[in-house]
Amino acid sequence: MDILVCVKHVPETAEADIKIDSTGKTIEKAGLVFDINEWDDYAVEEAVRIKEKLGGTVTVITVGSEDANSTLRKCLARGADKAIRLSDPKFEGSDSYAIAKILHKAIKDLPFDLIFTGAQAGDDGYAMVGPILAQLLGIPHATMVKKIELKNGVARVNRELEGGLEEIVEVKLPAVLTIQTGINEPRYVSIMGIRKAMKKEIKVLGMTELGLSENEVGEAGSWIKIEKLYVPPVEKQAEFLDGTPEEIAAKIAEILKARGLV
């Protein structure tokens, strides 16, 4: 079972003080801590578990600068066998569609039975790379996967739906699966694993090696272009209304009328 896992090197922003940079189109990254995308972490763990059970190989692949090597080495330390980084200055500004095209060029000639991506990325949240990549490769896909059973060339998967519901679908291999958090418990990286990972090669491919043109990547090759990022303005604090139910209802009606909502 040969599995490819697409991973992303993203900033941890949950507790950081985020500022918009001078271009107004991205955030200031200086001082931010970067790590593997949360959803991709589960995807790597699931791939390694399948390899341990059924044999085969796990290859991790990312689109990013040299800084992304730390994420790839973390994946290698977890049990991945190979790592590929797709890097070129012209890739800057690529949206999900352009990223999927870059990945497609690198993946289409590789042997694989499964391709995993995270359900979404923690920085943009588009959740589109997996389905677009499947379409470019001409293979089936399933999203928001919480459980995988493999048998006779078919993946039987549980998909998370809205409202706490799940559905079970069968997907013929090869296929792309986008992995949801909670499918497993990612293992800790051992010191021995880190040492072994530092000795492994990370293959780097640029635009020329991938056979891509400038109009296929970056903003020129994207469907979505960011015009402006901004911090939402702080609204007024909540107002608590006192009185009887009738008095409160009357005050609410007055507020709605004053704001032109009724």
Q: What share of the chain in percent tops pLDDT 90?
A: 78
Strand 175-179 relative to strand 141-151: parallel, antiparallel, unpaired? parallel
The enclosing H or E element of 208 equals helix 207-210
In this model, does residue 234 exceed pLDDT 90?
Answer: no
Q: To which H or E segment does residue 179 belong?
A: strand 175-179
Q: Over range 117-134, report the average pLDDT.
A: 95
Mean pLDDT, the chain, rounded, equals 94
Nearest to 5 by CA among 45, 64, 38: 45
Tell me which amino acid residue 30 is: A
pLDDT digits (tens, 9 = 90+) for 153-183: 999 999 999 988 999 999 999 999 999 999 9
Domains of the chain, with CATH numbers?
Answer: 2-221 (3.40.50.620)
Q: Convert the pLDDT of each residue in 186-220 to its tens digit.
A: 999 888 899 999 999 999 999 999 999 999 999 99
Per-residue pLDDT at 181: 96
Look up tokens 């996967």; give the residue: 145
Q: How confident is the model at residue 114 (pLDDT cuts 50, 70, 90)?
A: very high
Structure tokens at 29: 């990254």
Q: Tell me, what's the pLDDT at 232?
A: 81
Q: How far apart are CA 143 and CA 119, in angstroms?
A: 7
Task: List C-alpha distances in Å: 3 to 125, 126, 144.
Answer: 24, 23, 18
Residue holding tokens 């190979």?
Answer: 82
pLDDT of residue 62: 98
Residues in the chain, overall count: 262
- Average confidence (pLDDT) over 102-114: 97
Confidence of residue 184 (pLDDT cuts 50, 70, 90): very high
Cβ proximity of 48 and 58 under 8 Å? yes
